[in-house]
Amino acid sequence: MARRPLPRILSNGSAQLARSRELARTAADSATDVLHPLITITRGLRRLAAAGRRRWAETPKERRGALLFLVASVVLVVALVPYGPLLAAVTLMAAAAWQGRDRSPAASDGPDESQSQRLKSLYEALVPYFSAAEDPEPLYSHGGAWDKAFPTYAFDGGGRISQLVVRYPAYFTDGEAESRARIEHLLAAKSGRGREYHFTWDEEGNQLTVGVLLPLPVDIAAQRFVTTPGETVLGFTDPSRVQRTLPLTCGEQQRDVPPVVWRTGLRSTEPHLLALGQPGSGTSTLLRSIALQALQHGDVVIVDGGGTGEYACLTGRDGVLAVEAGLAGVTASLEWAATETERRLIAANQAHQAGDPPPDDTKRPLWILLDRPTAFTHLATADGRKDPQSLLQVPLRHGRPANVTVVVADQLDSLDALSEPVRRHTRARVVLGPAMAEQLESVLGAPPHTTPIDELPPGRGYARLGNGPVHRLQVPATPNPYDDATPDALCEAVLDLLPPRTPPADGETIPEQDQSEGEPERAPAEGEPESVPVAPEASESEREAMPVLTKEPMQNPGPVLTKEK
């Protein structure tokens, strides 16, 4: 069967549309060129009228009459003079054309002297890395032309480089991480410290694009995010790294910010998270933010290894199963979590084998949040007890099909103290606070595409989900609402997200005994001798065989006494 050709309007529609747009653009440019004098005169008349109104408003009221008389006299004289109105109109048009001219300064064709000197010094610094003695026509040489190596450049208001395109020879080893790191470190040092730079390597075109990243917003407080069950917002990043935005409330303003969303559940490839950072970098803030989001659809068990009461606001809340800060309580909670994971697996497996859906009690997510678990490792070792981290092996290995998620936060220096299951099964990684490039690469598994800086606000760092790219991260402000140093606005934001407190359950009452069973024994009063039960009367031979009973406790219990000699 022969294929029917497309209609003419569909086959040639795109070409006609492009031609129409080109004609409309050409007509608009031509009209702008023709009407440019009229546009200039109109702009000048508007400026003259604004100046006249401003002059009239600045004139005192007692002088406005004289000024009005003077203007009327000038108009009368111009009207009586031959060709006066024509000359006045020509003069007004000339003044309007002069006032309506484009006053924007003309853009300079090239950089000024200071900018040229900065580019030249940067070019000379790159000569040892981008030059070779065997190159017959070197692009980089001492005293060479820097304009061939830097085709595109831009400067900010302070005279520092904000964007730069660097061309390099084809024999440069741009495929090696060490070579790239040297060039990135040099460009960041020469372009200005204290800023974060993003590097884009184009291996096919032998070009390197350097851009300055804007600081991430730090004024985003904890709030309800527009997400689906199974999605957790870790923080916010650059708009060029993700293709999704979330509507947020920042004070009285509404804006869209690109988030870093971590997906958990049955289909997640990164079911568990590991967050590391320096003291005060915001790892506890990240755990509080995750806990508030997890309590919307699941239950939470919190282990506080810091012992500073950072999670006291969650104690007794609906969905919070436990907030433990002691070794005994932590061990009991983690043992229960391991047992619960096994129970969920068995129940789900039995339902699958019977062809039934999983039970509802296995679908509700269970979150295990641990802050500094290595502190309990040292305590357990000192007391000769089991390491609580060993109890995380079952939730980490089998937690994904059981809807159990483990989040571990600890200090960056305690990475070696974490157990092997924790480091192996936490594929989602977060590093907060200042860190060396080697530390970031060892934790995240890949170096970031930006240059780390020394001073970072709390909650600022990097995140990587599985084998994905490394994102800059800013955790939403979720402080401890019971801290006196916390601003009132942030405290109210956190308190509004907390679930209500669960009322304490009534204690179990002892059932009353039946009268037929006899009255319970009465405790002896103070100073009253204890009553000794009277044995049935025995024979004389049996009384001689029985030992003498005293009220003193026996040090070593003897054998069972019988009536036989």
Coil/strand/helix, residue 20? helix
Beta-carbon neighbour count of residue 342 at 10 Å? 14
For the record, the structure tokens of 481 come out as: 């609402």
The residue among 240, 283, 547 whose CA lies nearest residue 415 is: 283
Task: List, in sequence order, every residue forming a beta bridge with 431; answer none if it has no partner.
Answer: 276, 462
DSSP 377: H
Residue 211 to residues 100, 162, 163, 244, 447, Cα–Cα distance (Å)? 37, 6, 5, 22, 17
What are the two backbone dihedrals, phi and then psi, of residue 548, each rounded to the nearest 5 degrees?
-80, 125
Distance CA 257, CA 236 (A): 7
Nearest CA to 184 among 239, 129, 237? 129
Chain mean position to CA 300:
21
**Contact call for residues 238 and 213 (beta carbons, < 8 A):** yes
Handedness of CA 355, 361, 365, 371 (dihedral sign): negative
Structure-token match 């969303």, residue found: 261
468 assigned to a ligand binding site: no
User: Known binder of ligand: residue 298?
Assistant: no
**Dist CA 165 CA 144 (whole Å):** 17
| 3-class SS of residue 368 | strand
Contact present, 93 and 34 (Cβ < 8 Å): no
Residue 63 DSSP code: H
Round to whole Å and give the CA distance between 128 and 133.
10
Question: Annotated binding residue at 144?
Answer: no
Residues 462, 444 contacting (CB under 8 angstroms): yes
Whether 143 has a binding-site annotation, put simply, is no
Tokens of 374: 């290595």
Bridge partner residues of 262 (DSSP):
232
Q: Which of 404, 419, 410 is nearest to 274 (CA)?
A: 410
- Residue 114 annotated as lining a ligand binding site: no
Residue 526 neighbours by CB under 8 Å, 6+ apart: none
Two structure tokens written together for 169: 């020879």
Residue 434 identity (one-letter amino acid): P
> Is 282 annotated as a binding-site member?
yes
329 is in an annotated binding site: no
Burial of 350-366, coded b for 16+ CB within 10 Å and e otherwise, reads eeeeeeeebeeebeebb
Strands (E), 27-184: 152-155, 161-167
Tokens 């760092």 -> residue: 461
Output phi, psi for 166, to 5 deg.
Answer: -110, 125
Is 278 annotated in some ligand binding site?
Answer: yes
Cα 405 from Cα 321, distance rounded (Å): 14
Which 3 state secondary structure label does DSSP give 425? Answer: helix
3-state secondary structure (DSSP) of residue 11: helix
Query: DSSP H helical segments within 169-243, as ranges?
Result: 177-191
Tokens 């031609």 -> residue: 19
Cite the annotated binding site by residue number.
277-284
Annotated binding site for ATP: 277-284
